Structure 1
Amino acid sequence: MTVNTTDWPYVYGKPSGQGLIKQHPKDFIVEEIASFEPSGTGEHQFIWLEKEGQNTEFVAKQLARFANVKPRDIGYAGLKDRHALTRQWFSVWLPGALNQPDWTQCNIPGVRFVQITRHARKLKTGVLSGNRFQLTIRDWQGDKAETEVRLLAIKQHGMANYFGEQRFGHEGQNISKALLMFNGAKTSKTDRSLYLSAVRAFLFNQVLARRVLEQNWNQPLPGDCLGFADSHSWFRIEQPDATIQQRVANHEVHPTGLLFGKSSHVYSGVAPELEADVLAHYPELTQGLIDCGLEADRRVLRVSLADLTWQIEPNVLHLCFSLPPGSYATALLRELIATPRA
């Protein structure tokens, strides 16, 4: 089975601009937007740190080693890119007052400790309000006026919430490995989760791609499930009345796409029929997810970028914006420059 994990249709047309990203770590700055403030007391030390040239899992292992705790005692809200300058929270389970590590003596290359406090609970994956990005595209070439028109359109209408191609591995190899796993190949627990996530992401992107082509990715359809950008909650509509149309236009709610899995619900209407038609082309993938016991979920098709700002200099494009958890900066970049590298 051959799948293409890069050729998704564009919302605003194929970009005419070109440029290079991640030429230096400071060209790609990511800062977590926490969903809560650490209380200052509790059994878990919370560490706000800045890292450059290191990935999240490596830093977590180094923190565990220095604090002499088990890796499972370390928490973080999300994985951050190695080839970037990132700021994020980690938690370390350290109950009691004895044998507290002196973090000033913890030397991890490329890591700077910014703040240390405490909280009652471990930091869990996904407990974020979002991420704030500052991107620099170097060797940028393009029409300034056309680019600004496109940026204004994205700021007003949002972007398609595609999963980034890095989710699928090099040349989509995570999908190929998932198929081998579905056919009985032995897989580690970590790889199993990675492959299942990649398959669901691919199927979601296929549904979103169809709606982009039909120009209804940001419009409610009969039978749609509408979701909130700041939560995982959603509700189903029979018909998009005037009130629903206005709420979608105001970016209060967004159409959603299926994250495929087992479900006891059978819906009717234009939107679920569209999803079923798309998914019918991938029986090996859908059956594999069902056999693995995944439960169905939903993901919004559109991401709002109301805080998007930019600056265009000779050969350089600067972008600042925020995204909710799980959304990809590369989904924005692909609408602006040709084939950005993740």
Structure 2
Amino acid sequence: MIEIKKRPKDFIVIEEASLETDENGTHFLYLLTKKNLTTRELASFLGFSYAGLKDKTAITVQHVTFPEFKGNHIRENLKDGTYFLKFIGKIKKKIKIGHLKGNRFYIKLHGQKVKPADYFINFYGIQRLKGNIDKGKKLFKKLMEKPRKLKWRENFLIDAFLSFLWNETLNLYLSETVEGTFKTHEDFRFFIPSEPFEKIREKVPRFWTIAGHKKDYRESWSFYKKILLKEGISTDDFIKTLKNLRIKGDFRKTYLPVEAKIENDFISFSLPKGAYATVYLIFCG
């Protein structure tokens, strides 16, 4: 995998969104540029709404909204990093999670030899999984015995566990269906098909089920059974607990095409919301 994030300026993320300004709007739209700061912490500090979380060890650009006007330009150096706000205009509704098309990435290669992949498997990234899976699984098993309403952090841990199951079931399916090999990155395994994109589209379903009590699992169910057995969870208890937690489930795109280019020692590419640049880079190798 490409080595990244040595310095914030080595990893640049620019949010892609379609937002129409309206002079009669009641929310104030700003473009936020930040370095070495998390979106969540900065939002808590400044009081803005945002569409997606952006990396800390990076230079990131994203749209945010405030309930009141903050000025045309604001720049501040904090203890850990810097942020800059530029007023764009008024907007009818405040930005919420998911109100974006995707992100454009610019990643410094530092002379590394890279062959951009024209597609990748849309696995959940290590940022979502690391340090959260075991906690999420432990919490899920407790909820199997005694269901209750969850706090935000607990919902996040359950989501991380379900993301892990999505990855593992798809890993198993791919390893039995197409040619390829596993690559390990930070103790997580990802199956990397060696077949061209045309063959993947012929052999692999376009969507893979995110676990929930109302979703059609289609061909994924037999693989969920195998992984759940390995994790010590019965399928009946699994579905019952999802129902108690009101987790309906969803579908996630299994693979994504990518157009990437290398210029001035940077690789650049765009990904839709919910996709992970770090996963794509594993496929570039």
Alignment CA distance shift 1:200-1:115 (3 Å): same
Deviations 1:15-45, CA, capped at 9 Å, x for gaps: xxx6531111011100110033333441100
2-structure distance, mates of 1:326, 1:102: 31
2-structure distance, mates of 1:271, 1:297: 13
Q: Answer yes or no: is 1:47 the counterpart of 2:16.
A: no
2-structure distance, mates of 1:137, 1:292: 43
Q: How many residues align?
A: 258
Secondary structure of the structure 2 residue equivalent to 1:159:
strand
Question: Offset at 1:276?
Answer: 4.7
Work out whether residues 62 and 108 of structure 1, in 8 Å CA contact, stay in contact via their aligned partners in 2: no
Question: Offset at 1:210?
Answer: 1.8
Question: Offset at 1:318?
Answer: 2.5
Secondary structure of the structure 2 residue equivalent to 1:107:
strand
Aligned to 1:325: 273
Aligned to 1:165: 126
Alignment CA distance shift 1:200-1:266 (3 Å): closer
Aligned to 2:156: 194
2-structure distance, mates of 1:266, 1:186: 25
Secondary structure of the structure 2 residue equivalent to 1:294:
coil
Question: Offset at 1:124?
Answer: 1.2
Q: Structure 1: which 5+ residue stretches go unaligned? A: 1-17, 65-73, 95-99, 218-244, 338-342
Aligned-residue sequence identity (percent) comes to 25
- TM-score norm. by structure 2 comes to 0.77
1:241-260 equivalences under 5 Å are 248=201, 255-260=206-211
1:102 is aligned, of 71, 81, 85, to: 71
Q: Answer yes or no: is 1:308 the counterpart of 2:260.
A: yes
1:165-244 equivalences under 5 Å are 165-170=126-131, 172-179=133-140, 181-182=142-143, 189-216=151-178
Question: Offset at 1:118?
Answer: 0.8
1-structure distance, mates of 2:6, 2:107: 11
Bigger CA radius of gyration? 1
1:292 is aligned, of 245, 252, 270, to: 245
2-structure distance, mates of 1:180, 1:277: 17
2-structure distance, mates of 1:105, 1:159: 39
1:89 is aligned, of 53, 63, 70, to: 63
Work out whether residues 30 and 132 of structure 1, in 8 Å CA contact, stay in contact via their aligned partners in 2: yes
Aligned to 2:212: 261
Work out whether residues 124 and 276 of structure 2, in 8 Å CA contact, stay in contact via their aligned partners in 1: yes
Work out whether residues 27 and 66 of structure 2, in 8 Å CA contact, stay in contact via their aligned partners in 1: yes
Deviations 1:136-176, CA, capped at 9 Å, x for gaps: 13373xxx4xx43xx2xx21xx1000001121232744434
1-structure distance, mates of 2:221, 2:147: 32
Deviations 1:206-228, CA, capped at 9 Å, x for gaps: 122123213459xxxxxxxxxxx
Aligned to 1:21: 4
Secondary structure of the structure 2 residue equivalent to 1:191:
helix
Alignment CA distance shift 1:186-1:83 (3 Å): farther
2-structure distance, mates of 1:188, 1:296: 17
Q: Structure 2: which 5+ residue stretches go unaligned? A: 180-197
